[in-house]
């Protein structure tokens, strides 16, 4: 099952004891704080989970895959996420050893 | 922004809560997200983005020091795709 904001709010209600309203607002505020930091150009480092960083991409040539027409992909700033070593090894523990 | 700064910012937004509540909330959210990813479940946060696992097939690599061939096993790595709102807000000021 995919984890959503509703699931996280439920968790804050159950585990942290926030009321329903606070739990919902807290989840919203959590992601809004991260968006705001990134928007300001600040990277976000959440130890044990991972880092959100910003990368500047310069303009590069692209094409419309449907028509084949060449159009430049404009310069932009994008967010990248790097999982912490801890999160990566937890994922590996789940899938490690399962040979294809 | 670090985790402790995030906790302090959140505590400031909720004057009725104490710092400890914000700290527990952040910990609960991050633990739950990690648990889900670690068991191969997706995370979908509207307006922020989604987390999933990407599969890397096994490949023949090389030890850069000795040049000898080594089999690199398959693996799964966490992947984040920014959602529309985050993508647009971050791109606004370049």
pLDDT tens by residue, A18-52: 999 999 999 999 999 999 999 999 999 999 999 99
Name the residue with tokens 């959210």: B29
A10 close to B (CB below 8 A): no
pTM of the model: 0.89
Q: How many CA atoms lie within 13 A of A15 on its CB side?
A: 16
Angle between helices B3-13 and A20-39 in degrees, nearest 10:
130
Q: Which of A87, A6, A30, A86 is nearest to B25 (CA)?
A: A30
Chain B contact set for A35 (CB, 8 A): 47-48, 85-86, 89-90
- pLDDT tens for B13-53 read 999 999 999 999 999 999 999 999 999 999 999 999 999 99
The whole-angstrom separation of Cα A93 and Cα A23 is 31
Confirm whether the ipTM is greater than 0.85.
yes
- The residue in chain B having the minimum alpha-carbon distance to the alpha carbon of residue A54 is B90
């Amino acid at each position: 099952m995919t984890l959503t904001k509703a699931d996280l709010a439920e968790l804050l209600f159950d585990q942290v004891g926030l009321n329903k309203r606070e739990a919902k607002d807290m989840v919203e505020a959590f992601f809004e704080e991260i968006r705001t930091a990134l928007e300001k150009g600040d990277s976000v480092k959440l130890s044990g989970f991972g880092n959100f960083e910003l990368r500047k991409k310069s303009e590069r040539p692209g094409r419309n895959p449907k028509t084949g027409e060449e159009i430049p992909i404009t310069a932009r700033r994008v967010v990248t996420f790097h999982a912490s070593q801890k999160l990566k090894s937890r994922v590996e523990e789940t899938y490690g050893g399962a040979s294809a | 922004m670090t985790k402790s700064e995030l906790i302090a910012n959140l505590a400031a937004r909720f004057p009725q809560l104490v710092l400890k509540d914000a700290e527990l909330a952040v910990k609960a959210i991050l633990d739950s997200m990690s648990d889900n990813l670690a068991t191969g479940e997706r995370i979908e946060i509207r307006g922020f983005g989604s987390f999933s696992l990407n599969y890397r097939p096994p490949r023949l690599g090389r030890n850069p020091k000795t040049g000898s061939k080594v089999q690199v096993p398959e693996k799964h790595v966490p992947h984040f795709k920014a959602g529309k709102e985050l993508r647009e807000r971050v791109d606004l000021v370049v």
